[in-house]
Structure 1
């Protein structure tokens, strides 16, 4: 999600700033490694990494690693690897999200681009032609990483999910208590949620001082996820035809408009819901897992709790609780030198089996670990955002969906809220534009891989 990525940049801006391009040669710092036998244990469960080797025959080699955020966590991986292989010099390069997807494809066209780089699946079409496949058997990846086989392309894998992120409701604990609410009032249904939002709303006469629920600028995040609750897929049974203009999406629109009609929020109050929440103006917001880290970094005084997104009907299991998306593992530049690619493949195995740093990265991103050995980790289980998801197997992944969905759901809601466009017409316009944008993209949905998949119109 674009908003998520921009805020992730804010989280680390100033934490560690590195030059946009490394001036080092591919020979690195000139340090040699002369000992393959390091006396270190083999890491991993099914997918394994043996550190007792010489990388690049022990000769110095340099790798640039481009990332747009969470730089300290990336640096931790690099530092841990370099302690084992001192001849491999890895420079983590912080490229802000707004520039990343313009600069990266250009750099990858030649041999001087970064040898390794972070991937976001929304940019799949933009970079896949520059990526080298993983030199790891798919069965090994799938044994330890959830959803790995969903990323197979013609028998090869170029990136997988490192963690799974979805949405939940964040609430201000102080406002909750002041309104006389307790844990027993955590709403299970959307009807209950509306009543709780009313109790959390504060007005001074007609002036809204505290929104019970604010969804401004976050609509594209929940639109398709809440339609999944109602049994509506994003694509028809062929996996290629978008299904946007339908009763389920209209029901989602009407549900959220009704909350503003209740007076629990307003399109003109807190133009960005998550910022409004952090500033103590809104009591509840819908946000994805990245928001937990943002709150702790940018709004540390806010005491917050997280609960699972309500359901249409109490006591039932919906088609899916919500959609999810994966935070992706790193990519390898196919235009890097053969030596750099081989070293990058070795680092990749280390990265995928470094459970301590992978856990820290999952927690910093607010994602449930795709690395199965971390699923029962106490810190993962205790994390508020991850705990709120509940049964992660009942979340659906539509695939690396092109950005046209997010773009047009955003425009649709802007037209409804601010341009006085009839919701039915706005929904039809979104369907038409998304259909046009997908023409010729050869995109096929991954919805059919969902264990509870059922086709919808």
Structure 2
């Protein structure tokens, strides 16, 4: 049994009741959209669900509109819902036959749906040379493999990087030549940018705001030090590499350059409010900063003690069992996926939605109109999905890691080795029932 298979087979949050929910999956949502050579002569409708509500969502709609105009066989219809609403309604909608044919989800969420046979394999899509899947970033594609077959198609895969306030950098005389290549250099730069009033303990402006209560934060730091939280489905938190990394991290955090015990939204909020010179986040921060009147720059997440590693914000397209049931709908779904990841569409996706392209054959010159994304695209190779092989219990695992992270950063809770041992034992208790 492959690691990915074990992870997906045991994903948390899906019960036997969910499996029964999909039994038969005999709804009429897709089959009711007879088209492309259908008896009524109308195009086959492909129903799509996603949760993007900002500029990225508008670009998805624009690409869908272009796809619809490019041919007469298929019609993509998009329904936008908040991500939590999609999670709540997806299984019931599939059972009733009113669900989507294509849906956007992360790898961890998709794992359970695949086990319950709510998502169908897209291996034939990858096997068709006409779809140009050989141009896709293989590092990104590999996360969707289940028992030797590929189920997901790249949608939006963005590395976290360091975003900075250009005005603050200019005022401090910081140029590209000063951009840090290691975390230690970044800490030094953050201390240089921190502004404190005399006698005040809390800085007026932090040099760097990090969401240390974020599920991708601690795994990323450990990976940069040569360790991890989980490997091949097994908890490996209590290791010499991790002790060394977190002791180094605790020591660095005592410089007072950043707050502790905050989530990602709060960390970014400090940045967009002009209360932090730098933050660590995905490319969507650019639009928020622009709205706040802040001109931003970006550079790659620096190297840790052993290597460069950063978090990936990752979403994929998934074909549902409902979409796969009707051959015309399945063909239309795959035609749209190929169109979305075509060369032309991916240039547009990168330039307008602020996501690195999913293809490796798009040049920096083609992205020149969006220099931030042009610079970010090569960073994808160092971006990893946190806890990708975790065998269930992700919510409880993340809660324990958040607590550990805050205890490390704040210097509370005891010595690093003891904290790691205690957390390791708790994580194993959480995931053992799923193994």
Query: TM-score w.r.t. structure 2 length?
Result: 0.76
CA root-mean-square deviation: 3.6
Q: Of 260, 266, 285, which aligns to 1:291?
A: 285
User: 2:348 aligns to what?
Assistant: 360
Structure 2 equivalent of residue 136 of structure 1: 125
Greater CA drift, 88-97 or 349-358: 349-358
Partner of 1:334: 321
| Structure 1 segment 3-402 matched on structure 2, within 5 A | 58-69=41-52, 70-86=56-72, 88-128=74-114, 129-134=117-122, 135-138=124-127, 140=129, 142-147=133-138, 148-149=141-142, 151-207=144-200, 208-217=203-212, 219-236=214-231, 239-267=232-260, 272-296=266-290, 298-299=291-292, 301-312=293-304, 318=306, 320-325=307-312, 327-336=314-323, 337-338=325-326, 341-363=329-351, 366-376=354-364, 378-379=366-367, 383-384=371-372, 387-388=375-376, 390=378, 392-394=380-382, 400-402=388-390
Deviation, structure 1 residue 180: 3.0
Task: Write the deviation string for residues 46-86 of structure 1: whole angstroms up to 9, x where unpaired.
Answer: xxxxxxxx688953433321101132122122211211334
**CA deviation map 1:68-116 (0-9, x unaligned):** 1132122122211211334634321111023222222332234221121
- Residues of 1 paired with 2:241 and 2:351: CA distance? 33
Q: How far apart, CA to CA, are the structure 1 residues paired with 2:252 and 2:371?
A: 29
- C-alpha displacement at 1:174, in angstroms? 1.1
The verdict on how the C-alpha distance between 1:421 and 1:102 changes in structure 2, with shifts beyond 3 A counting, is farther
Tell me how far 1:285 sits from its aligned partner: 1.5
- What are the Cα deviations for residues 9-44 of structure 1, in whole angstroms up to 9, with x where unaligned? xxxxxxxxxxxxxx999656x9x77xxxxxxxxxxx
Q: d(CA) in 2 for partners of 1:60 and 1:269?
A: 49
1:327, CA displacement in angstroms?
2.9
Residues 202-260 of structure 1: CA distance to partner in whole angstroms, max 9, x if unpaired?
11223321111222445543322232222224444xx2212122343344434444344
Q: CA deviation at 1:428?
A: 3.1
SS of residue paired to 1:231: coil
Distance of 1:217 and 1:340 partners within structure 2: 47
- Separation of aligned partners in 2, 1:116 and 1:389: 26
Match of 2:22 in 1: none
Asked whether the 8 Å contact 1:289–1:366 carries over to 2, the reply is yes
Is there any run of 5+ residues in structure 2 with no aligned partner, and where? Answer: 1-27
| Larger proportion of helix | 2
Q: How does 1:420-435 map to 2 (within 5 A)?
A: 420-422=412-414, 424=416, 425-435=418-428
Q: Which residue of 1 aligns with 2:431?
A: 438
3-state SS, counterpart of residue 367 of structure 2: helix
1:433–1:273 Cα change, 3 Å = same
TM-score by structure 1 length?
0.73
Listed as ranges, the gaps of 5+ residues in structure 1 are 1-22, 34-53, 443-457
Partner of 2:10: none
CA distance in 2, matches of 1:143, 1:94: 30
